Amino acid sequence: MAQTLQQLSIPGPGVQGLNSEISPFQQGLDFALRADNAVIDRVGRIAAREAFADFIGTHEISLADNERFEIVRLEYVVVDKQDLTYENVSEYLVSEYGLAEYSQRRPVGIPGTTIFGIAGIGRVGQMHYDRYIGITIDEGVIKEVPSVTPTHGVTLAQLVPFKGVIYSFSKGDPVMVYRNGSASKLSDDADFIPITDSDGTTIYNEIDGDIACAAYGRLWVSGIDGDYDTVHWCSLLRPTHWYDASTDGTNDAGFINVREYWPNGNDKIQGIAAHNGFLIIFGNHSILIYSGAQGNPAGDNGLRLQDAIRDVGLANQDAMCNVGSDLLFVDSLGVRSLGRVVQEKSTPIAEPSLNVATLIRQDIANNRDTVRLSHLSSKTIAICLFPKLREAYCFQLGQPGATGGLRTTRWTGCDFYTGVTLQTDHRETELLGGRDSRGVLAYSGYTQPEKYTLSYESSVLLSGDALMQTLVPKSISFSYHRDLVGSNPPNPPQNLFCRWGFSTNLMPYLGKIKTQNTRVGSVSQFRTGKCNVKGSGDMMRVGFDFDIDGKPFAMQQISINTLSGRILV
């Protein structure tokens, strides 16, 4: 018997982000089966992510033919420029981070930044790098820092800003200090006190660990001489002073060996972080939470093991980031978080990647050494990047979604390795370490060299308690939002495509969406396009692809005109 045409509506499609953990029949239409290159915008719509835009591409890095450089690490420190005058502004801008700052030429009191990074250099088309070099940005040009040639870069290395300089750690290499355009070994500092035992015997001549963190006025380093059971810390605000058993009170550096405290009996320090007043020591599959890292860690109210968590660990030290309210980190089960509870001083564990657990676990399992987590604070997102796949999961920070997990989307075409939010008094920029010799990128705008497409796929229509039923769709309407450009009405998007499908994971049908309500003189930011569709089947899903074209795009609502066919069961 013929059915009447009915309209199914998906208001706010995918506002809860991806969900691979609930059956498509059970999950509501708030979830999405696909949300590529999407974010959840400020009003809760699925929207296009910003571009990995070129920012500083000019470089003076010596490359052989067929070589490329990729910035695998990037850090910055704010430097005090209060004494600047107009006359010396260009001099100070030697270490200024970007052309825009450089061109402003503000005469006095410009807070600046010093940027330092590690670039890997390898042959085009290969994944690995032949060597690593230090880089900095000098008057808008990426330049080499020749004295920094670490053995490691992508992994087993770390950059730590501390006290106005940047420390470059690399496993087995002496830590380098980047300051004002040049770098030198920390051990070359006249004040350097190596790690010395009580007999005055130098135990380690160099700080050559690769697990490092700056917190509570100290550098915390593990992996020195390959010892991943011990965390060494420098004297308070004196990164040149390390444990020397001097006991005269002038040096309160020290170390802690945590070997006996791994709850699983055995582990290896993977990362160190400061969060909620605690010092978090991550193992591969355990976490030790120490209080009392402030002040003197070896003192009376010093380090105390607050908690030892088993079966939750850290994939690698780049796979964590502090988002203020939470410390996010990647372990084998996905992206986890240590919460921040001031009163109880406890650290509840949550699983922000709950909605994509199955998907992300597989990726993590295959990329434990290179998976990275970055916080793009100005965008209120955290991205879990898989550089080898050039894919990332984007977690919308703030209130978690309906399931308790953060709303998650997926990014593709991620041609960057690292991300850092560069904050100055008058600018906040998300810098990305670009790949394929692209230099420094900015997560900004909607234009990038490579085309990128916002893709969405809904969960199954007529899900929930509805009986399995054949649907015969007739048309699908999309209400979307685009920014106006100047006073001209936006052109009908030529790059918005409708997708739909039945029964299978793929959505084989593709149709061009035609804008319906384009009228002369219309300047509305909200528009609707329609696509006539065909086919029939059960488990109908709808979606769209939008090739981002330099302007923001967000999907408001999807409406489907369909006939309901026979009930299958």
Q: Which helix (H) or strand (E) holds 39?
A: strand 38-40
Residues 191-250 contacting other proteins, CB under 8 A: 198, 230, 235, 241, 243-247, 249
User: Which of 308, 333, 402, 563 lies at the binding interface for other proteins (CB under 8 A)?
Assistant: 308
What is the C-alpha separation between 464 and 466, in angstroms, rounded?
Answer: 6
**Contact present, 178 and 134 (Cβ < 8 Å):** yes
Q: Pick the closest to residue 461 from 9, 38, 19, 47 (CA basis).
A: 9
Per CB under 8 A, the list member of 11, 164, 299, 508 interacting with other proteins is 299
Min dist CB 330 to other proteins, Å, is 25
Give the contacts of 31 (CB within 8 A, at least 6 positions apart): 14, 16, 17, 18, 19, 22, 355, 459
- Selected from 254, 283, 434, 493, the binder of other proteins by CB under 8 A is 254
Helix (H/G/I), strand (E/B), else coil: 104 = helix
Q: Least distance to other proteins from the beta carbon of 298, Å?
A: 2
Count of residues binding other proteins (CB under 8 A)? 34
Cα of 377 vs its chain's centroid, Å: 10
Contact between 288 and other proteins by CB under 8 A: the answer reads yes
Residue selected from 116, 132, 290, 502 as contacting other proteins according to rule CB under 8 A: 290
CB-based contacts of 48, cutoff 8 Å, min separation 6: 37, 38, 39, 446, 454, 546, 548, 552, 553, 554
* Cβ distance to other proteins smaller for residue 288 or 432: 288
Segment contacting other proteins (CB under 8 A): 47-55, 302-310, 346-354, 538-546?
302-310
Task: Output 235 or 377, the one with its CB closest to other proteins.
Answer: 235
Comparing CB distances to other proteins, the nearer of 258 and 274 is: 258
Give whichever of 276 and 477 is closer to other proteins, judged by the CB atom. Answer: 276
Least distance in Å: CB of 214 to other proteins? 18
Q: How far is the CB of 193 from other proteins (least distance, A)?
A: 9
Integer angstrom CA distances of residue 560 from 18, 121, 207, 347, 532 = 21, 51, 63, 45, 10
Q: Hey, is 359 helix, strand or coil? A: helix
CB 251 → other proteins: shortest distance, Å?
4
| Closer residue to other proteins, CB minimum distance, 242 or 546 | 242
| Options 96, 210, 252, 351; binder of other proteins; rule CB under 8 A | 252
- Tell the smallest beta-carbon distance from residue 203 to other proteins (Å): 11
Taking CB under 8 A as the criterion, the residue among 46, 157, 253, 442 binding other proteins is 253
Nearest to other proteins of 76, 255 (CB atom): 255
| CB closer to other proteins out of 289 and 373 | 289
Q: What's the closest the beta carbon of residue 280 comes to other proteins, in angstroms?
A: 13
Q: Looking at 53, 79, 298, 389, which residue binds other proteins (CB under 8 A)? A: 298
> Out of 305, 389, 402, 468, which residue is the one contacting other proteins (CB under 8 A)?
305
Q: How far is the CB of 549 from other proteins (least distance, A)?
A: 56
Strands 31-36 and 17-18: parallel
Residue 209 CA, chain-centre distance (Å), reads 24
Residue type, 60: E
Assess 161 for contact with other proteins (CB under 8 A). no
Of the pair 203, 349, the CB lying nearest other proteins is at: 203
**Least separation in angstroms between CB 261 and other proteins:** 5
State yes or no: residue 94 binds other proteins (CB under 8 A).
no
Q: Which of 111, 302, 445, 490 is close enough to bind other proteins by CB under 8 A?
A: 302
List all residues 6 or more positions away from 275 whose beta carbon is below 8 Å from its beta carbon: 322, 327, 338, 340, 347
**In whole angstroms, what is the distance from residue 225 CA to residue 206 CA?**
9
Q: Please spell the DSSP secondary structure of 412-460, one letter per residue.
A: ----EEEEEEEEETTEEEEEEEESTT--EEEE-SS--SS--EEEEEE--
In a 13 Å sphere around the CA of 301, the CA atoms on its Cβ side amount to 3
How far apart, in whole angstroms, are the C-alpha atoms of residue 215 and residue 338?
Answer: 17
What 3 state SS string does 280-297 have?
A: EEEECCEEEEEECCCCCC
Instruction: Identify which of residues 303 and 315 has a Cβ nearer to other proteins in the complex.
Output: 303
Tokens of 260: 């006996």
Smallest distance, other proteins to C-beta of residue 282, A: 15
Choose between 83 and 300: whose C-beta lies nearer to other proteins: 300
Interatomic CA distance for residues 46 and 503, integer angstroms: 24
- x/- track of binding to other proteins for residues 398-427 (CB under 8 A): ------------------------------
* Nearer to other proteins among residue 197 and residue 428 (C-beta): 197
- Segment interacting with other proteins, rule: CB under 8 A, options 257-265, 345-353, 503-511, 556-564: 257-265
For other proteins, give the closer residue by CB, 305 or 333: 305
Instruction: Please report how close the Cβ of residue 259 comes to other proteins at its closest, in angstroms.
Output: 7
Strands 202-204, 211-215: pairing is: unpaired
Which one of residues 52, 76, 255, 456 is an interface residue with other proteins (CB under 8 A)?
Answer: 255
Task: Name residue 29's amino acid.
Answer: L
Which residues, in sequence order, are CB contacts of 504 under 8 Å at separation 6+? none
Query: Are the beta carbons of 553 and 445 closer than 8 angstroms?
Result: no
Neighbouring C-alpha atoms within 13 Å toward the C-beta of 505:
4
Residues that bind other proteins (CB under 8 A): 198, 230, 235, 241, 243-247, 249, 251-261, 288, 290, 296-300, 302-306, 308
